[in-house]
Amino acid sequence: MKLLINSLISIFCVVNYCSIVQCSTDNESNLRDGYFNQTIESQLVKRQNSIQTCECGRENWSDRIVGGTEVYPEHRYPWLIAIRFAGRSIICGGALIDSNYVLTAAHCLVGLDPSEIDVLVGCHNVKKVDCRAYKVVKIIPHPNYNRRFHDSDIGLIKLAGPVSFSSTVRPACLPPPTSTPSDGSKLIVAGWGLMEQGGMGSDILRHATVNYVDQSICRSSYPPSYITDRNFCASSANSDACQGDSGGPIMKRNSRGRIEITGIISFGRGCGNTDSPGVYTNVAKYLDWIAINSQFSGCFSSDADLRRDSLTSGGCGLAKGKVRRKRIVGGQSPQQIDYPWNAALGYKGQLIGGGALISSDAILTTASLIRPIIESPGFDVKQLMVILGAFDITKRESDRRSFQVRKVIIHPNHQLWNRYKSDLAILTLTSPATQFTPVCLPTVDTPYPVGYNVRSLGWGRTTVNSGGSTSLKQVDLKLTGREECVRYYSSNLSNDLFCAKEYNKGPCYGDEGSPLMIQFSQRYYLAGLYSHVLPSYPCGLQGAPSLFTDVRHGLDWIYQNM
């Protein structure tokens, strides 16, 4: 049976800089409380093993491939790799997604020991010396892979050492989470597999163009349960992937001209059979799994997706326990100290809002929450309190700690007449909160893609007309486009604000200053802070988005004052 690429991944690239740094303790990073203590310019570290840029998905210009042609020029798809068994036979293909990990099909990995295979990188002709072989230390087939139905036919390979990027070796791009090929889309398959059914494999990398097949036609071509929303079909007369191409990518060119991995060659009947199109794993359905299992340090498709890593310490952003499903408006109750950086802020014994621990002695919150208090007559900083480790704000819990505030720092560009511009403030604690984990910070060039999941926390109202909640609540939202945000707020909305929504759900009165988080590789990053309740459509009701201060726009100031 021929095996086809099912999953295709794309990575976000930003010209000249890669904003992703792996969590480490090497001497290249001067860490303060687990964070880089340099300016933002020095934090946007040039990737040392790339072509001066985090350049994913760029073809070199100035396919199981049946009916394909030799790839020209050589190394046109510099992320393509070959999986070799026992140092001799090419058994599958794959795609390099960062310097340490290869994306391939689960069926290529099941039953193998890492010592039995190696990975050839930088090849055009697998028989020539331009290939470099890398040993494998770990193989990770998807835990839900089903041999019978080929479901979740996706896997990862961890290499023994990092790959050095060059003009002939670059990472592939991962697609946006909502990416799906459209009917008639032109897709590209490439590999070193059989050139015809029953024929010989190719020493030379070959590629072919195939067309996306409508999902209803795809389902009618195979028995029930074989085709789901986690895979898709593609075919073309006399062009297809074949044995030996399995695990390799099926690719498309995005609007910026970059190549994205849309799928992974998974299975099919024969090779080049138009009555039975090839089946490919849909990579976009597995982005979270990839991030969690690869400690992803690559890049995302420049069209829509978000950097999965950021400048961070080895310990930031790690939640404790598992979320207990239960409600902020429309929300749920997390377990106690699931989010140890989450802070409740109080003044004169009253809960006023929230914030997030960003280092051992610094809380980030909104200026619009704190400024009216510190500028009120008779303000006493000794009565401004920060509570960490709380779940039920009314109870004496064993993990709960209270901290006094030594200093309040308001962003210098914050204005009373435009209270949501530069809406950031830092509270410096009188003593370090060393027993609590801080949240990770994003980087200045981290994009926030429309439709991506984010999570808001707080002790605010659970309905518009209720009082505040005594126990911590969470609600999951999706990032919206700026156009929708402007429609509800103002055409003059500043660039340091953004929106997220879920119908009839959202943070509410009392949640101001509370963190909005995004999770990658089992870590949480602080995307924003809840800024504003829209009086005409409060708390996410009637589909209105919630407004958040964008942390990215204040990073330079944050690092200088934390």
pLDDT, mean of residues 247-264 = 85
153 catalytically annotated: yes
* Same domain flag for 234 and 276: yes
* Highest-scoring range by mean pLDDT, 3-7, 40-44, 54-58, 98-102: 98-102
* Same domain flag for 297 and 332: no
Report pLDDT for 265.
Answer: 92
Catalytic residue among 33, 153, 445, 511: 153
* Same domain flag for 281 and 350: no
Q: Which of 279, 303, 327 is the last residue of a domain?
A: 303
Higher pLDDT, 445 or 128: 128
Single out the residue of 306, 298, 380 nearest to residue 346, CA to CA.
380
In a domain, 174, yes or no: yes
Task: Name every residue whose Cβ is closer than 8 Å to that of residue 178 and which is 6 or more positions away in sequence.
Answer: 284, 304, 451
pLDDT, mean of residues 124-138 = 86
Instruction: Report the alpha-carbon distance of residue 464 to residue 446 in Å, rounded.
Output: 33
Report pLDDT for 65.
Answer: 38
Q: Which of 275, 303, 331 is the last residue of a domain?
A: 303
Collapsing DSSP to helix, strand or coil, 500 comes out as: strand
42 catalytically annotated: no
In a domain, 555, yes or no: yes
pLDDT of 28 higher than 60: no
Please give the single-letter amino acid code of residue 205. Answer: L
What sign does the CA torsion over 175, 548, 41, 20 have? negative
DSSP string, 159-216: ESSPPPP-SS--PPBBPPTT--PPTT-EEEEEESSBSSTTSPBPSB-EEEEEEEE-HH
In a domain, 8, yes or no: no
* Same domain flag for 141 and 251: yes
* Same domain flag for 79 and 125: yes
Report pLDDT for 73.
Answer: 57
Catalytic residue among 75, 107, 150, 414: 107
DSSP assigned state of 476: E
Residue 546 β-bridge partners: 500
Higher pLDDT, 52 or 473: 473
Higher pLDDT, 449 or 22: 449
What is the percent of the chain with per-residue pLDDT over 90, rounded to a whole number?
28
Single out the residue of 324, 325, 296 nearest to residue 525, CA to CA.
296
Single out the residue of 307, 555, 559, 554 nearest to residue 446, CA to CA.
307
Catalytic residue among 7, 152, 246, 301: 246
CB contact at 8 A, 475 and 331: yes
In a domain, 357, yes or no: yes
* Same domain flag for 324 and 251: no
* Same domain flag for 485 and 516: yes
Collapsing DSSP to helix, strand or coil, 454 comes out as: strand
pLDDT band (50, 70, 90) for residue 255: low
Looking at the 3D structure of the chain, how many domains does it have? 2
Please give the single-letter amino acid code of residue 309. Answer: D
19 catalytically annotated: no
Question: Which contiguous run of DSSP H or E holds residue 516?
Answer: strand 515-520
* Same domain flag for 256 and 339: no
* Same domain flag for 278 and 324: no
In a domain, 91, yes or no: yes
CB contact at 8 A, 474 and 457: yes
Q: Domain of 518?
A: 315-561
pLDDT of 347 higher than 90: yes
In a domain, 16, yes or no: no
In a domain, 14, yes or no: no
- Answering whether pTM is above 0.75, one says no
In a domain, 30, yes or no: no
Report pLDDT for 369.
Answer: 93
In tens, the pLDDT along 297-318 reads: 555 554 333 333 333 334 577 7
pLDDT, mean of residues 247-271 = 82
Higher pLDDT, 320 or 183: 183
Instruction: Report the alpha-carbon distance of residue 140 to residue 231 in Å, rounded.
Output: 19
CB contact at 8 A, 175 and 258: no
Single out the residue of 311, 514, 560, 525 nearest to residue 412, CA to CA.
560
From 67-81, 386-400, 487-501, the region with the lowest mean pLDDT: 67-81
* Same domain flag for 90 and 217: yes
CB contact at 8 A, 304 and 176: yes
pLDDT of 325 higher than 50: no
* Same domain flag for 476 and 548: yes
Pairing of strands 89-96, 80-85: antiparallel
* Furthest CA-CA distance within the chain: 87
Q: Look up the CATH number of the domain holding residue 418.
A: 2.40.10.10
* Same domain flag for 236 and 354: no
Q: Which of 270, 303, 336 is the last residue of a domain?
A: 303
